[in-house]
Structure 1
């Protein structure tokens, strides 16, 4: 039997871990599909990830509309990122939205893709797509606030579509990550542990790639990306080994003295 308390405890830990490692700032968020009802999902209320501590800090929303259920109030305006991705891809059960500064340059510099350069980032694949909200019809409406937020179901659906569709498995996205021009990035996964892993290593790969590009320019060298085969193999490896860093990350935040998780770390 699925333990909902353990799922919510893991969601709280995910918020803490990604804040601890500077992947989430005060505005980032993580969601998980309800394991007892795939028609709803859980997302922290309008608060920084570091201070999420118990069931009272977590809202529940309908996947179909991202409308709150069970008296949820005070939710994120950008919950449509999560709801529309979960609606479009039944195989996705967890979503992370981040504003990590290590990744942001790759959202605004043309011709510089966030390609994987070491094995822990093979899941990124050969070309991480970039979603530019300014190019969408609803954002070009003069009545739409120019705040770059995914604050409507339509904008959420357009962002979700940027992940593409897996040709051999239409219930899954083609990409595990999408960049948002001048905003941040989103990663999707089959579970919380895997989503945290992807978010952490997307930011880590950005740091490594930036250093490699600068070093290559300084010495006249060339940055060597992973081959297509290496990306596939590394992605398969990373998917099944996500439990290993997860255990360490939970251990770190539980002993940091900074965070409170009333439900246990998962």
Structure 2
């Protein structure tokens, strides 16, 4: 806990004294930064990300900015690694730090979805097959009801042709992905991964974890035969119920992931 507090002090000091001289938004709430750091660790601990993947949160003082770590493996993120970006995904105070190539995923979703407060992009392994196979990802139990009954798939070829590296490396691709996501909570990215959104860090982490779990369970169920998926009505009602419970696993996951600090 002392290490976390020390890291937050360093973070605030750096925020107030940007090396570039570029004006930054007011210092974000320390609890928000702490949760963003914890979320990176949790996503690794729960097998959603490995050395790749990233999570962002909309700035609590300015909806036209968001916070995300510098280009670093999620499990290694500390408070001093957190950076501020505008919605065009420009770093406000770069200071020579490397930043994620696919940051445009985050900025363009925040532009299109004012309701979204947090975004995760991952290469969650059990999810990948559902972006390339005919079988569609659908909720098979109440914990993943937030998936709804139609998880869209982003096909980068529809936007940029067949000669890409599948990475969302510019605003145009980010905008196209955000449009495919639409009002959904999750969108798959063919041959790449997925994006998950939520109205808070705990909610979006919950959704990313249970998207991976649903994909794993769905694949197992499909091997057994015909699968009975949630109906639209069941999904809607179950999602409302479970959404009020996201803090229960969040507190557990956070304690486990941060226990070494």
The normalised TM-score by structure 2 is 0.87
Deviation per CA, 1:52-83: give whole Å up to 9, x if none: 012x21111001x1111134531101000000
Residue 83 of structure 2 aligns to a residue whose secondary structure is: strand
**Conserved? CA contact 2:28–2:59, under 8 Å:** no
Whose helix proportion is higher, 1 or 2?
Answer: 2
CA distance in 2 between counterparts of 1:74 and 1:238 reads: 38
Deviation per CA, 1:214-235: give whole Å up to 9, x if none: 122xxxxx21101111100111
Other-structure match for 2:238:
234
Aligned-pair CA distance for 1:140 = 2.4
Computed over aligned residues only, the root mean square deviation of the Cα atoms, in angstroms, reads: 1.4
CA distance in 1 between counterparts of 2:139 and 2:94 reads: 42
Please list every run of at least 4 consecutive aligned residues from structure 1 whose deviation after the TM superposition is greater than 6 angstroms. Answer: none
Other-structure match for 2:17:
none
Q: State yes or no: 1:214 paired with 2:218.
A: no
Deviation per CA, 1:133-184: give whole Å up to 9, x if none: 0111xx2286xxx2111010000000000012xxxxxxxxx21000000000
Compared with structure 1, are the counterparts of its residues 147 and 192 closer, same or farther at alpha carbon in structure 2 (3 Å cutoff)? Answer: same
Moved more, 229-238 or 196-205: 229-238
Other-structure match for 1:20:
45
Moved more, 174-183 or 71-80: 71-80
1:58 to 82, 104, 107: 82
CA distance in 2 between counterparts of 1:69 and 1:208 reads: 41
Unaligned runs of 5+ residues in structure 1 are 165-173, 217-221, 261-266
Aligned-pair CA distance for 1:3 = 6.3
Q: State yes or no: 1:99 paired with 2:88.
A: no
Other-structure match for 1:248:
252
- The structure whose RCO (Cα within 8 Å, separation 6+) is larger is 1
CA distance in 1 between counterparts of 2:156 and 2:78 reads: 33
Other-structure match for 1:123:
146
Q: State yes or no: 1:201 paired with 2:210.
A: yes
Other-structure match for 2:107:
83
Q: Show the 5 A alignment for 1:25-40.
A: 25-40=50-65
**Conserved? CA contact 2:41–2:258, under 8 Å:** no
Residue 214 of structure 2 aligns to a residue whose secondary structure is: helix
Unaligned runs of 5+ residues in structure 2 are 1-26
CA distance in 2 between counterparts of 1:90 and 1:29 reads: 20
CA distance in 2 between counterparts of 1:147 and 1:25 reads: 20
CA distance in 1 between counterparts of 2:204 and 2:29 reads: 18
Deviation per CA, 1:14-65: give whole Å up to 9, x if none: 00001001101211100000001111001111110000012x21111001x1
Other-structure match for 2:4:
none
CA distance in 2 between counterparts of 1:234 and 1:193 reads: 18
